[in-house]
Amino acid sequence: MKVNKLKDKVAIVTGAAGGIGSEIASLFDKDGALLVLADINSDGLARLASKLSREPLLVQCDITKKESIKNLMESAVTKFGRVDILVNNAGIITPGLFEDSKYEDIERQVDINLMGAIYCTREVIPLMKASGGGNIVTISSLAGIAPETYSAIYTATKYALRGFDLTLRVELKKHNIYVSTIFPDSVDTPMLKYEASHGGSPLTFLNLPVSPAVVAKAVRRAVIKRKVELYVPYSQGIASKIIICFPWVIPFLWPILEKKGAKKKEQF
């Protein structure tokens, strides 16, 4: 008989009202996890909760604010007594050339994509240590392996998350805390549609977008198998890792790929 390793595990999912977050929540719910769903969008959380088999704990949370994150963790422990899994899923992108970037857009991407994940991770570690271990999974992007034009700050935050997670993977193993990073290519979400109509990188549209459900399955696999990194799809991840070994190629290759991606972007 197959053992359900997520049954009754307490899982926090940030950005839960979004496309990927809602799929992670739905999949974990089917696996019997006890869910703590966090998002700044309380109406979106309520809609998601109505579709789940068990009532989750809903916490309106702004991950750019430390006090809001502390409240999230305290609420989870008050309700369930512990935290077994943290999924750092919340993220945004403001596409466009860096030279045209507004400072508020730069800061917002860094605050949500990078600092939010760092703050959530920092607050959950003592809780996991107290309960004997856990899993921390962060949604990065293939832009965290190979750079994405028209998304310099987004790329920077996703690169940083990879370094952060790999470091913690080493540091936290002694506490039985396993840190994993997921690197999706383009995902068919409202954010991708926003990119298509607001100056997003043509590189994002080179390949057919994967569904949020595929990313959710990668998150589950990362938890169960304690994977260091997972790429969605796998082939694109490997290709990106190979290309980045030869950075001198990028200034010559990327314009060619952009032209190809631009056509697909128009079709999308």
Known catalytic residues are: 154
Residue 93 identity (one-letter amino acid): I
Number of neighbouring beta carbons within 10 Å of residue 246:
9
Chain center to CA of 55:
23
Structure tokens at 67: 């006090």
* Angle 220-221-223 from CA coordinates, rounded to 5°: 65
Strands 134-139 and 177-184: parallel
Q: How far apart are the first and last CA of the chain?
A: 44
Q: Which of 144, 90, 93, 78 is nearest to 121 (CA)?
A: 90
Nearest by Cα to 243 from 141, 147, 139:
147
How many other β-carbons are positioned within 10 Å of the β-carbon of residue 80? 18
- Residues 219 and 242: their CA atoms lie apart, in Å, by 23
Exposure on the CB side of residue 27, measured as CA atoms within 13 A: 21
Spatial contact of 36 and 75, defined as CB atoms under 8 Å apart: yes
Report the amino acid identity of residue 141.
S
For tokens 């369930």, the residue is 80
